[in-house]
Structure 1
Amino acid sequence: MTAGWRAWCLGLGMLCAVPAQAETAEDWLQRMHDASQLDYQGVFIYERNGSFSSHQLWHAATMHGERRERLLQLDGPAHEVLRVNGRTRCLSSDLQGPLAEGQVWPARELDVGQLANWYVLRLLGSSRVAGRDAVVLGLLPRDPHRHAFELHLDRQTALPLKSVLLNEQGQMLERFQFTSLQLQAPTSTDLQPGADCRTLDTDVSALSAAQTNDWQVGWLPPGFSAQGVIRRPVPGDGVPPLQCLLFADGLARFSVFVEHLGGLSVEEAHSQLGPTVAVSRRLSARSGEVMVTVVGEIPLGTAERIALSVREAQEQASD
């Protein structure tokens, strides 16, 4: 354990030294995964870089296993997102940041058995969030390609009441935290998006490997796997669609965007805002210049290495 993680444990009041309880961290994570089938609604705050916003969340699971959730920003303009089975169906055109990128919280698809390969899982103790008793879990990365998580799970339902993302020094990068939670099903009206929620015209396909028919990611951090590819039409005759390749390790995730530039002059860039990094690089393709951009909640160096590995699939096959 690094000095940063030791400081984190000490900052939690020596919770890392709490004796083992009857339940294991793996048991709680499995319960958290199963809790995605519950109906609930509440208000949570989102914090990064010292800025806060508050959001209403409605979540419903139907008898056919379909999950629907709607998020409405309560501060300023009433921006919103509607998701079905984890896929964004509509969002306000002005909504920016991770809440617009599909990271509506809490929405994690966990493979608990695999997760322990990439994170050290620990029970840290107890807390109280939104007036409810919670169990605190720590997930420390086993390599430098992901961040640590601190999860506060509702003791009754295992719903995540609070989620904190931490860098290698144990400093907070991002926080989601419920301020109120009701275990009741939303109404059909609650789940109906407003007129300003723009339907996304996307073609979502599954991926069995880290590639589409056109592009391949040559290097992935251990534990990350392809989750799907989204293709979005781009205005203009004969312009190839924007492609977005999705990857995750069960907690952390990132996307690789490939966009044809069409003669535009665009500079390469490296940036970080809170937990989210963005690394873009120009790449010459058979169909012209493209911009490859890696966006996600991963360390900057990891994103840079991923971006450098992206190639046209046929090019890589012939190397």
Structure 2
Amino acid sequence: MRFIPLASVVLGSWLALPVAAADAQPWLQRLAAAEQSQSFQGHFVYERNGSFSTHRIWHQVGADGVVRERLLQLDGPVQEVVRVGGQVQCSSSAFADQAADTQIWPVRPLNIAQVGESYDVRVVGASRVAGREAVVLGLIPRDQHRYAVEMHLDEATALPLKSLLLNAEGQLLERLQFSDLQLVESAEADLHASGECKPMQVVEARSSVADAWRADWLPAGFVLKAVTVRPSSISAESVASLVYGDGLASFSVFLEPLGGAAVEEARSQLGPTVAVSRRLSTVEGDVMVTVVGEVPLGTAERVALSIRSTVGEASAVQ
């Protein structure tokens, strides 16, 4: 089967492709299980906004089934993350407070049933990445509130050797691509964090947080996945985080009491990642609502505008 770049699919030739949706289901199932069943290590390149960085990853599946991984950036600022059982243990990133709410390369958390509702998934060809044969999946969003994804899956393991995110115009927003992949066990020393990796603060989950807030609008297919609470950097109160996902993509809504602090509203985008902040007035004081995730900017803005406190009336500060 020949390989057709997903950019052409996004631009309108999807229905004309000689591909079969049924062929994609087994690959999705293998992809969803790959992270939990296969140890590996290797190097990959990350590209965003025309900038490149190189990384090393050690990914170990223990005898007890617990996954431990260490990610290290090899150029530019020192960036390191260690995660055990899906939880971030330490991070050297300036955005360490958000690290627990974001997915770390290489596997995105998949909910196959959800993915099928929000994306048209097809096998669109074959390729070769890092010297390994791969099957190419195209995941085309069914609406404008998420990005198209092209995944090159290793034929032997279904691990993602390459992943591209594209917007509705077919423009590349993000590339993740292995340059080498070794299906070997990692040495214990390789999985240990360096002194640059700062321990993450314990995150407390509170179901009452979800009850205190609501979103009057969410993109179809996105549901609440997790609720966390952590200390604020600008006040004595805590920052609540509501994480929403569609089975593939995700975004977080951070709710930070301002305690009188002067903070400006903002909107930004770097590659596929957007951040939209707005000030919200509630009966308990002003709160900064910030939506961060890999969704289109207009989608994040609409979510931010829809957030309401369930404790009395809430209205945006003009």
Instruction: Name the TM-score, length of structure 1 as normaliser.
Output: 0.88
Equivalent in 286, 290, 294 of residue 289 of structure 1: 286
Equivalent in 306, 311, 316 of residue 309 of structure 1: 306
Equivalent in the alignment of 1:203: 203
Residue 100 and residue 172 in structure 1: after superposition, are their counterparts in 2 closer, same or farther (change >3 A)? Answer: farther
Equivalent in the alignment of 1:34: 33
SS in 2 for 1:203: coil
Equivalent in the alignment of 1:163: 163
Instruction: Name the TM-score, length of structure 2 as normaliser.
Output: 0.88
The one-letter amino acid paired with 1:109 is P
Asked whether the 8 Å contact 2:268–2:274 carries over to 1, the reply is yes
Q: Give 1:163 deviation, angstroms.
A: 0.4
Asked whether the 8 Å contact 2:111–2:248 carries over to 1, the reply is no
Equivalent in the alignment of 1:300: 297
- 2:213, 2:228 → 1: CA distance? 13
Q: Give 1:219 deviation, angstroms.
A: 2.0
Equivalent in the alignment of 1:105: 105
Equivalent in 215, 220, 244 of residue 217 of structure 1: 215
Q: Which moved more, 1:115-124 or 1:92-101?
A: 92-101
Q: Percent identity?
A: 52
- 1:57, 1:267 → 2: CA distance? 37
Q: Give 1:89 deviation, angstroms.
A: 1.7
- 2:265, 2:10 → 1: CA distance? 40
Equivalent in 247, 262, 267 of residue 250 of structure 1: 247
- 1:235, 1:54 → 2: CA distance? 30
SS in 1 for 2:193: coil
Q: Give 1:123 deviation, angstroms.
A: 0.7
- 2:63, 2:153 → 1: CA distance? 25
- Please list, as runs of the form range in 1=range in 2, the aligned pairs for 1:253-292 lying within 5 A after superposition: 253-292=250-289
Asked whether the 8 Å contact 1:253–1:297 carries over to 2, the reply is yes
Residue 69 and residue 171 in structure 1: after superposition, are their counterparts in 2 closer, same or farther (change >3 A)? Answer: same
Equivalent in the alignment of 1:145: 145
- 2:254, 2:128 → 1: CA distance? 39
- 2:8, 2:206 → 1: CA distance? 38
The one-letter amino acid paired with 2:221 is G
- 1:260, 1:57 → 2: CA distance? 37
Q: Which moved more, 1:59-68 or 1:170-179?
A: 59-68
Unaligned runs of 5+ in 1: none
Deviations 1:228-257 (A, max 9, x none): 122112368x82211111111121110101
User: Alpha carbon RMSD of aligned pairs, Å?
Assistant: 2.8
Q: Give 1:188 deviation, angstroms.
A: 1.5
The one-letter amino acid paired with 2:57 is L
SS in 2 for 1:305: helix
The one-letter amino acid paired with 1:301 is G
Equivalent in the alignment of 1:232: 230
- 1:177, 1:62 → 2: CA distance? 25
Residue 26 and residue 204 in structure 1: after superposition, are their counterparts in 2 closer, same or farther (change >3 A)? Answer: farther
Q: Give 1:96 deviation, angstroms.
A: 8.0
Asked whether the 8 Å contact 2:7–2:171 carries over to 1, the reply is no
- Please list, as runs of the form range in 1=range in 2, the aligned pairs for 1:56-95 lying within 5 A after superposition: 56-94=56-94
Unaligned runs of 5+ in 2: none
Equivalent in the alignment of 1:188: 188
Q: Give 1:6 deviation, angstroms.
A: 8.2
Equivalent in the alignment of 1:176: 176
SS in 1 for 2:244: strand
